[in-house]
Structure 1
Amino acid sequence: MLPRQKLNEFERGRAVAWFQDGVPKREVARRLHVSISVIVRLIQRFTATGRVQERRRPGRPKKTTPREDCLIERLALQTRTASSSIIRRQLRVATNTNISQQTIRTRLHGFNLRSRRLAVRPRLTPAHRAARRPFCRRHVRWTRQQWSQVLFSDESRFTLNHNDDRLRVWRHQGKRYIDATVQEKVAFGGGSVMVWGGLSAFTTEHPCFMYRVT
């Protein structure tokens, strides 16, 4: 893990207190997991000003207000497949604020929203969902020997010559499988290569593999 380059106000106060108690700067940096240069600049600033607060930095002010930032987040969550260019146009219509697509992405990153591939899962009917829990309860105590008699199979489609319509969505980290960021699919064929495979184990030493291409 790379060392951090910033400290909050409480950590800056602790760093100065440790230094005044005789703790070396390098040890202070190790305790707070920052580079030594951060501690050196902090001690220099405290020696010169008697304060641990960072000086205000000059720079271009933000082009969006906090209210507009919240609107950007809401637009992304309302239509998770919307690209940054679409959100930019919607914001301009709603608030007459014209900003770049990169600024849109930066604001969304500030809300911990990243553009990710849709998670894919089989389309489940209500009957499928109702049957899953009883199935798990019946098999939760199965032994390896019992599972070795089962054939596990799956199939995949490989499309080589055209756009596969893979969508991206805005989502928070750790929320991949919520309904709003999942694409349900059913089995399909035609115009592509389908590969079907199965795996079973009659014994743990001699597994059995099968596959088929259609």
Structure 2
Amino acid sequence: MPPRRKFNEFERGRAVAWFQDGVPKREVARRLHVSISVIVRLIQRFTATGRVQERRRPGRPKKTTPREDRLIERLALQTRTASSSIIRRQLRVATNTNISQQTVRNRLRGFNLRSRRPAWRPRLTPAHRAARRAFCRRHVRWACQQWSQVLFSDESRFTLNHNDDRMRVWRRQGERYIDATVQEKVAFGGGSVMVWGAFRLHHRVT
């Protein structure tokens, strides 16, 4: 059976014209790459109403226009950390349209935007970045024997109190590490315990 698809009004008109010219329903379905049941229902609807347009389906109409949907997307992209309640309030101020927070999330999902926790990176000054680039350039050709003489150390901070870290950002797939969706953190803050460790090639310092 051909895959089910929705065909337009012009194709529906062609199907009816072919049928009236004596083309079998199965052949009409084959020409339009649709199921035979689609053609049967189309002919039944045309016979009963004389029209090929689809009947209006029941259901609640969308409360936002395409222009308002684009505004919702733009508000989320301008401020990635804005919550759905903030975007809802901004939309109401701009267009006097009152919608729910779930509707905001539904519209953003239609633009492939999801609410996610941000990736984070240490806050680096331009001097930090320059020093890191210089270090890489100086050591890019080092051999394993040279690196074996280097002691690598690091320290980690563990907070004693729970931090729920509720900040969220709107992002699409593949946007995890772009600047707009990354949160910078200060490496050494107060109210925490610092743990230090070091290692070298084939050795660990405890």
TM more than 0.5: yes
> Aligned pair in 2 of structure 1 residues 142, 65: CA closer, same or farther (>3 Å)?
same
User: What does 1:1-214 align with in structure 2 at a 5 Å threshold?
Assistant: 57-198=57-198
For 2:93 and 2:184, locate their aligned partners in 1 and report how far apart those are by CA, in whole Å.
33
The percentage of counterpart residues that share the same residue type is: 92
> Aligned pair in 2 of structure 1 residues 159, 131: CA closer, same or farther (>3 Å)?
closer
What secondary structure sits across from 1:195 in the alignment?
A: strand
Which of these two proteins has the greater Rg computed from alpha carbons? 2
Question: For structure 1, which segment, 140-149 or 97-106, has the greater mean C-alpha deviation from structure 2 after superposition?
Answer: 140-149
Question: For structure 1, which segment, 4-13 or 60-69, has the greater mean C-alpha deviation from structure 2 after superposition?
Answer: 4-13
Task: Give the C-alpha shift of residue 47 in structure 1.
Answer: 16
For 2:125 and 2:2, locate their aligned partners in 1 and report how far apart those are by CA, in whole Å.
46
What secondary structure sits across from 1:115 in the alignment?
A: strand
> Aligned pair in 2 of structure 1 residues 130, 97: CA closer, same or farther (>3 Å)?
same
Any conservation in 1 of the 2:28–2:39 contact (CA below 8 Å)? yes
Question: For structure 1, which segment, 49-58 or 82-91, has the greater mean C-alpha deviation from structure 2 after superposition?
Answer: 49-58
Task: Give the C-alpha shift of residue 137 in structure 1.
Answer: 3.1
> Aligned pair in 2 of structure 1 residues 9, 197: CA closer, same or farther (>3 Å)?
farther
TM-score by length of 2: 0.64
For 2:139 and 2:28, locate their aligned partners in 1 and report how far apart those are by CA, in whole Å.
54
Deviations 1:79-98 (A, max 9, x none): 21111111111111111111
For 1:77 and 1:88, locate their aligned partners in 2 and report how far apart those are by CA, in whole Å.
14
For 1:42 and 1:168, locate their aligned partners in 2 and report how far apart those are by CA, in whole Å.
48
For 2:133 and 2:31, locate their aligned partners in 1 and report how far apart those are by CA, in whole Å.
48
Residue ranges of structure 1 left out of the alignment (5+ in a row): 199-210
> Aligned pair in 2 of structure 1 residues 146, 85: CA closer, same or farther (>3 Å)?
same
For 1:160 and 1:143, locate their aligned partners in 2 and report how far apart those are by CA, in whole Å.
41
Task: Give the C-alpha shift of residue 57 in structure 1.
Answer: 4.3
The Cα RMSD (Å) is 6.4
Question: For structure 1, which segment, 28-37 or 50-59, has the greater mean C-alpha deviation from structure 2 after superposition?
Answer: 28-37
Question: For structure 1, which segment, 148-157 or 45-54, has the greater mean C-alpha deviation from structure 2 after superposition?
Answer: 45-54
For 2:3 and 2:66, locate their aligned partners in 1 and report how far apart those are by CA, in whole Å.
30
Any conservation in 2 of the 1:118–1:183 contact (CA below 8 Å)? yes
Task: Give the C-alpha shift of residue 62 in structure 1.
Answer: 0.9
For 2:194 and 2:18, locate their aligned partners in 1 and report how far apart those are by CA, in whole Å.
65
Deviations 1:41-74 (A, max 9, x none): 9999999999999987442211111111111111
> Aligned pair in 2 of structure 1 residues 13, 122: CA closer, same or farther (>3 Å)?
farther
> Aligned pair in 2 of structure 1 residues 79, 213: CA closer, same or farther (>3 Å)?
farther
